[in-house]
Amino acid sequence: MERWVGRVAVVTGASVGIGAALVEELVKKGLLVVGIARRVEKVEELARNLKSEKGKLHPLKCDVSKETEIRDAFKWIKSNLGGVDILVNNAAIAKNSNLMDGPFENWKTIIDLNVLGLSLCTSEALAIMRENGVDDGHIIHINSMAGHSVPESPLLAYMYSVSKHAVTVLAEGLRRELRSKNSKIRVTSVSPGKTFTEFMAASGRPFHPVEFYTSGPYLTGKDIADSIVFALSAPPHVQLNEISITPVDKP
């Protein structure tokens, strides 16, 4: 990770869960981290409790489902920190979103954040990287096992799975686009299995049976953060395209 020390990483969804665990790891490793969330006070609290010689956490309030807020956030990052070297698109939501009983509003909330918000953050970060001549940048999309196959739960909210399949395509498509422009910026899709976070509570009406989230085995946010650090640590000529992570006894 030495080459990233003092460089800028932007992490969306940094207030709790996987994002909070990740910003902690990156700050400890000496990066300047922008932690984006709507509940910015939670990121501020994290910043107060983090001790690092070189690293620093900059909390930034932004709703990643809103175009103007995203554009303003990246303007702030450019003018206050000079640029972006790493973007981790982590913010996402799941809601009851079946076609037979999931309301249209929920479909829209999911797509606005998980697909369009992720895409716009990526586009804004890449524009700044290119402006600054950064050719060793890294874009990481937090995907899901639901981005590769449709989970079998009878109460499945499959618009979430649609959004995560889109993330799989967005990672692959961007990799091709970057190669066509001879860019060496890397793109990694990280797909966690069941991880113990606020995710279910944030999703409103549970769409999995309650036992799904109240019984293990689970991964922790730190498990996922460690895998992201692993991807970032690969030498610049190595690209990890896809990392999927499950608890060892629940593949």
Contacting residues toward ligand NDP, per CB under 6 A: 12-19, 37-39, 63-65, 90-93, 113, 142, 144, 192, 194-195, 197-199, 202
CA distance 221 to 203: 17
Tell me the residue nearest to ligand NDP as measured from the CB.
17
Provide, rounded to whole angstroms, the least separation between the CB of residue 228 and ligand NDP. 11
- Selection from 142, 200, 133 nearest residue 170 by Cα: 142
Q: Which two tokens stand for residue 235?
A: 């030498």
Provide, rounded to whole angstroms, the least separation between the CB of residue 152 and ligand NDP. 15
- Selection from 55, 113, 15 nearest residue 229 by Cα: 55
DSSP-assigned letters across all residues of 120-188: HHHHHHHHHHHHTT--S-EEEEE--GGGTS----TT--HHHHHHHHHHHHHHHHHHHHHHHTT---EEE
Contacts for 3 with CB less than 8 Å, ≥ 6 apart? 136, 236
Contacts for 100 with CB less than 8 Å, ≥ 6 apart? none
Provide, rounded to whole angstroms, the least separation between the CB of residue 162 and ligand NDP. 13
Provide, rounded to whole angstroms, the least separation between the CB of residue 53 and ligand NDP. 26
Helix (H, G, I), strand (E, B) or coil at 190: strand
Provide, rounded to whole angstroms, the least separation between the CB of residue 225 and ligand NDP. 10
Task: Using the structure block, give the residue that is written with the tokens 């969306």.
Answer: 12
Q: Which is nearer to ligand NDP, 16 or 125 (CB)?
A: 16
Provide, rounded to whole angstroms, the least separation between the CB of residue 89 and ligand NDP. 8
Q: Which is nearer to ligand NDP, 65 or 96 (CB)?
A: 65
Q: Which is nearer to ligand NDP, 18 or 87 (CB)?
A: 18
Q: Which is nearer to ligand NDP, 184 or 205 (CB)?
A: 205
Q: Are 189 and 146 in contact (CB under 8 A)?
A: no
- Selection from 68, 71, 119, 72 nearest residue 91 by Cα: 119
Q: Which is nearer to ligand NDP, 130 or 222 (CB)?
A: 222
197 CB-contact burial (10 Å; exposed 0-12 / middle 13-18 / buried 19+) = buried
Q: Which is nearer to ligand NDP, 16 or 31 (CB)?
A: 16
Q: Look up 160 and say whether it is catalytic.
A: yes
Catalytically active residues, by annotation: 160
